[in-house]
């Protein structure tokens, strides 16, 4: 069976009628006991399982997913990858993710389609430019690449923007991260799944968690639709459903779940080769490799688990996009969806041990989950393998709330939280 993807392997399989490929990942029945359990088959869960095996040699791992791999937020986002956040703690965690994305295809032997096409965040007023200058200074001090753009710079990078005298949102300039870009969401999930499986991880789909095994005040495993599964350490990476599972474990999280909508247009020829974010309109736009315009916006303001969102918010997103790019007015929209994001009061993630010993958390990424997948997986794997924090994850522990050590990145999200 052909396991390694390469041009030579593709040629050989073409000659052989494509009959020799092995399955991308195994789908075994669950065993009664593992060294570690990871709940959640999205990007963060899959990355956690992979880095447990690769970085720590812990291969007796069960990855449990109630549906199918990548069927949650990982398959319902706008694929943006960037690290231009304000605070040093955020720069460290998103910078780690960004650096890992750059070599992810090689590391996983799977094309994650990372494209460093640059990201421009627009400023629409003089006050906005003052904020942009302050932001650029902070980001540069954190060691992250970022530049202050003038209106002429924006015009050079995004010539199709509405620069007319009657523009509702005139451009004064903005910030620019040249190394930012996009990656293919499905490819990231499938690449991690394939690599983790090859290292011995059991990927178990259609396995819903109904409760936790708690003995002597410690989590000893989970109760699932496929029976009890035990492990001394369990990691949870379930995004918008974190508070649901926390309730099953007997504690509350400072998390609210909202629908975050996005949509794509019909495919067109290349017209925009960067990612454009407008905090004022609450809209961000890029173009996929297939030619579709990928359009995202702000959160629905009502907590919800509905994966379609509501029409008024979508109308606002489209209206903002047309204010920015009137040239898109004749495009037909092809599909729309919503992901369920977990928003924390300071808009920064929660990584650390939960109030139930033996159960570790990776949640609260809000609108930043996809761009953080490699870092979230690396840090949760470190916690599960060692029982202690990595230096980068320590500031994001739950104890920052009673200590008052918040990392308020609401502005860094680039859209309204």
Q: What is the pLDDT of residue 411?
A: 64
Helix spans in 57-198 (H):
88-102, 104-108, 126-141, 151-157, 185-198
Mean pLDDT, rounded, for 36-56? 98
Is the pLDDT at 413 greater than 90, yes or no?
no
With bands split at pLDDT 50, 70 and 90, how would you rate the model's confidence at 68? Answer: very high
Rounded to an integer, what is the distance from CA 64 to the centroid of its chain? 19
Q: From residue 46, how far is each of 182, 205, 353 by CA, in Å?
A: 19, 12, 19
Asked whether the beta carbons of 307 and 76 are under 8 A apart, the reply is: yes
Asked whether the beta carbons of 380 and 362 are under 8 A apart, the reply is: yes
Q: What percent of the chain has pLDDT over 70?
A: 98
Q: From residue 166, how far is each of 155, 162, 196, 325 by CA, in Å?
A: 16, 9, 53, 13
Total H helices, total E strands in the chain: 11, 19
Q: From residue 218, how far is each of 1, 33, 208, 358 by CA, in Å?
A: 43, 16, 21, 6
Q: Which H or E run contains 415?
A: none
Is the pLDDT at 410 greater than 80, yes or no?
no
Average pLDDT of the residues of the chain:
94
Mean pLDDT, rounded, for 220-241? 97
Q: What is the pLDDT of residue 3?
A: 83
Global confidence as pTM: 0.95
């Amino acid at each position: 069976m052909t396991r390694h993807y390469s041009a030579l392997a593709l040629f050989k399989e073409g000659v052989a009628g494509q009959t020799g490929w092995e399955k991308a990942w195994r789908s075994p029945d669950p065993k009664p006991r593992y060294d570690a359990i990871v709940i959640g088959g999205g990007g963060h869960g899959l990355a956690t399982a992979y880095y447990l095996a690769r970085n720590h040699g812990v291969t007796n791992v069960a990855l449990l997913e109630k549906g199918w791999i990548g069927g949650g937020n990982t398959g319902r986002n706008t694929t943006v990858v960037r690290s231009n956040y304000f605070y040093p703690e955020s720069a460290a965690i998103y910078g780690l993710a960004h650096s890992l994305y750059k070599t992810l295809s090689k590391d996983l032997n799977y094309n994650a389609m990372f494209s460093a096409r640059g990201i421009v965040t627009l400023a629409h007023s003089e006050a906005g430019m003052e904020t942009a200058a302050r932001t650029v200074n902070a980001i540069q001090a954190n060691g992250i690449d970022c530049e202050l753009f003038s209106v002429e710079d924006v015009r050079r990078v995004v010539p199709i923007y509405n620069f007319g005298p009657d523009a509702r949102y005139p451009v004064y300039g903005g910030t620019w991260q040249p190394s930012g870009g996009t990656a293919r969401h499905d490819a990231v999930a499938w690449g991690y799944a394939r690599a983790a499986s090859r290292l011995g991880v059991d990927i178990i789909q259609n396995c819903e968690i109904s409760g936790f095994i708690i003995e002597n005040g410690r989590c000893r495993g989970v109760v699932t639709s496929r029976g009890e599964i035990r492990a001394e350490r369990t990691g949870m990476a379930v995004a918008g459903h974190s508070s649901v599972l926390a309730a099953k474990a007997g504690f509350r999280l400072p998390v609210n779940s909202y629908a975050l909508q996005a949509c794509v247009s019909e495919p067109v020829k290349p017209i925009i080769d960067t990612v454009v974010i407008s905090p004022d309109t609450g809209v961000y736009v890029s173009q996929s490799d297939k030619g579709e315009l990928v359009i995202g916006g702000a959160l629905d303001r009502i907590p919800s688990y509905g994966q379609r969102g509501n029409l008024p918010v979508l109308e606002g997103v489209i209206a903002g996009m047309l204010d920015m790019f009137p040239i898109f007015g004749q495009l037909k929209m092809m599909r729309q969806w919503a992901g369920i994001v977990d928003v924390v009061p300071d808009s920064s993630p929660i990584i650390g041990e939960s109030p139930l010993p033996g159960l570790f958390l990776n949640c609260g990424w809000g609108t930043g989950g996809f761009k953080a997948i490699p870092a979230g997986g690396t840090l949760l794997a470190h916690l599960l393998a060692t029982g202690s924090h990595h230096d980068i994850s320590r500031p994001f522990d739950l104890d920052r709330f009673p200590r008052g050590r918040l990392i308020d990145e609401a502005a860094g999200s680039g859209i309204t939280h």
